[in-house]
A = this chain, B = another copy of it.
Amino acid sequence: MPIAVPLPQAYRLLNHGPTVLVSSAYGERRNVMAAAWNTVLDFDPPKFVVVIDKASYTRELVEASGALALQIPSRAQAALTHAVGSVSGRDEDKFATHQIATFPAEKIAAPLVEGCLAWLECKVIPEPHNQQQYDLFIVEAVAAWADPLVYSEGRWHFPPETPRSIHHVAGGAFFESGELFRAADEA
């Protein structure tokens, strides 16, 4: 069962730059895509940026609904992450094709993908120039959740053998999030 992450700490879920799954819904339609191009924009209220291509089905659903979920897939979902980043939801229902189990978000309509490490329910802060010119979306998290196996008390802590977050490099190649260390111990 996901645990709630206090909103002022929600930035910690994305601060290390993982690739995310973006889910969205409008009416009966829903979609999920991958997005390596995301980062934190502010602490409190927690804001994030994510790049969503004009041609994507997600773009249509996000602009219609004004909401999206950013979710951190684990290495066990790497093949899924690459797959949903390689086809359009206009051509197939990715949830059906890839048998993606979901659970409902609390504050937005977008479905949340089971098996992720963390989930951010976000509302779009409308910035038409950024969206049109750069495909750049600014969002504010209104709810945040994490799997307590890997994140609790405000910290990531990946037990051995646990699939970690992933970082897309290019063409289906990823880095797994590696050793956790403190800079003070390296000086």
Contacts and interface: CB of A to CB of B under 8 A. Distances in A.
Nearest to A172: B183
B15 A169 contact: yes
A166 to B, nearest CB: 8
Given A15-B36, A16-B36, A180 B187 contact: no
Contact of A19 (B17, B42, B135): B17
Contacts of A174: 16, 180-183
A176 B181 contact: yes
A32 interface: no
Which interface class (under 10, 10 to 19, 20 to 34, 35 or more) fits A? 35 or more
B183 A81 contact: yes
A134 B47 contact: yes
Contact of A136 (B49, B169, B181): B49
Given A17-B19, A138-B134, A183 B37 contact: no
Q: Which 10 pairs, one residue from A and one from B, show the smallest C-beta to C-beta distance?
A: A17-B17, A178-B178, A16-B167, A82-B183, A79-B187, A176-B178, A39-B39, A78-B183, A175-B177, A172-B183
30 contacts: A15-B170, A16-B17, A16-B36, A16-B167, A16-B175, A36-B39, A36-B40, A37-B41, A41-B51, A41-B135, A47-B134, A49-B49, A75-B186, A79-B187, A134-B138, A136-B138, A154-B170, A155-B169, A155-B173, A167-B167, A172-B184, A174-B180, A174-B182, A175-B177, A175-B178, A175-B179, A175-B180, A176-B178, A176-B179, A176-B181
